Copies of this chain bind each other. A is one copy, B any other.
């Protein structure tokens, strides 16, 4: 964390590739080792009966926060919002946040506006939680509760393992009650599913070859996996300099569908569950508009709606829908890596990016 230069890697993409491959182990370990601590924090949060949850993050972590928003709304049945840090850091607002749970998500814990935003929330009465990969960070020190996602040092500028670790930590903190009840077998099952999903490199390689000369691309999903669409678009932008845009399936039908034609690659996420099912009319429309379509996951229902689509497989058997985002991002991380390499770009040394971005 916090190391700016990573250009000294031996092979282009070696760092990002290694960190992608560490995810099954990271996820299994996080679940197995952190479940007791997360149970403790969760019980304390439950006891306080919050009326509302605010989530604050930037960049990749913002997509973990978006995922958490769905967990809060669906599993906790509480209203939730993503914080615009600028309202406290630029406009200096000090609302009454008693009864509000403020969760900041940050790999490095070092972004000054997130630290300021969390401190402001705490001084306004909110319960504050930092979900971070750096428990020695200023963000962690400023928060009342700290969730250590234990992804290990992340050296690649494009975050991968810290993202899926954040998702899993947030699932254990905010997801279905039974999620933190058992540990061993669930943890092992998720690690295995992640490992199996990462074996689908043939489909990833074919997709990367196909998009070698694309200069823009659209990603889309609904429900929990909307976070995946957003994170995949960011990853492709960071590593491959593609103009990648993410839309919720519903929003895509409101306007942006006009720019979809046979020249527009679209990556849609549709795994088994209610979010995947809700993608069916979107996939039908994309198919009718002759979009060049890749479906991540790819249920029978999805392929019936878009029979010519190609598939990036995801191994979701035995994994609840709420956890699919931990898996369906994996082939898309691999795609971002592979596409960068196809295009002669080193994904470990993207232009103009540092590992910790300072915004105020």
Q: Which of A228-265 contact B (CB under 8 A)?
A: 234, 237-239, 241-243, 245, 248-251, 253-261
Complex Cα spacing A93 to B69, Å: 13
| Residue contact A241 to B254, C-beta cutoff 8 Å | no
Q: Which of the candidate stretches A31-39, A79-87, A147-155 sits at the interface with the other chain?
A: A79-87
Which chain B residue lies CB-closest to A54?
A: B79
Hey, what's the 0/1 contact readout for A209-231 against B, CB within 8 Å counting as 1? 00000011000001100100000
Contacts of A249 in B (CB 8 A): 359
Complex Cα spacing A254 to B231, Å: 12
Q: Which of A335-360 contact B (CB under 8 A)?
A: 350-353, 357-360
Q: Which of the candidate stretches A56-64, A131-139, A292-300, A306-314 sits at the interface with the other chain?
A: A56-64
Contacts of A97 in B (CB 8 A): 79
Which residues of A are interface residues toward B (Cβ below 8 A)? Answer: 51-52, 54, 58-60, 62, 69-70, 73-74, 77-82, 84-87, 90-91, 93-97, 99-100, 113, 158, 215-216, 222-223, 226, 234, 237-239, 241-243, 245, 248-251, 253-261, 274-275, 278, 281, 285, 289, 350-353, 357-360
Which chain B residue lies CB-closest to A121?
A: B79
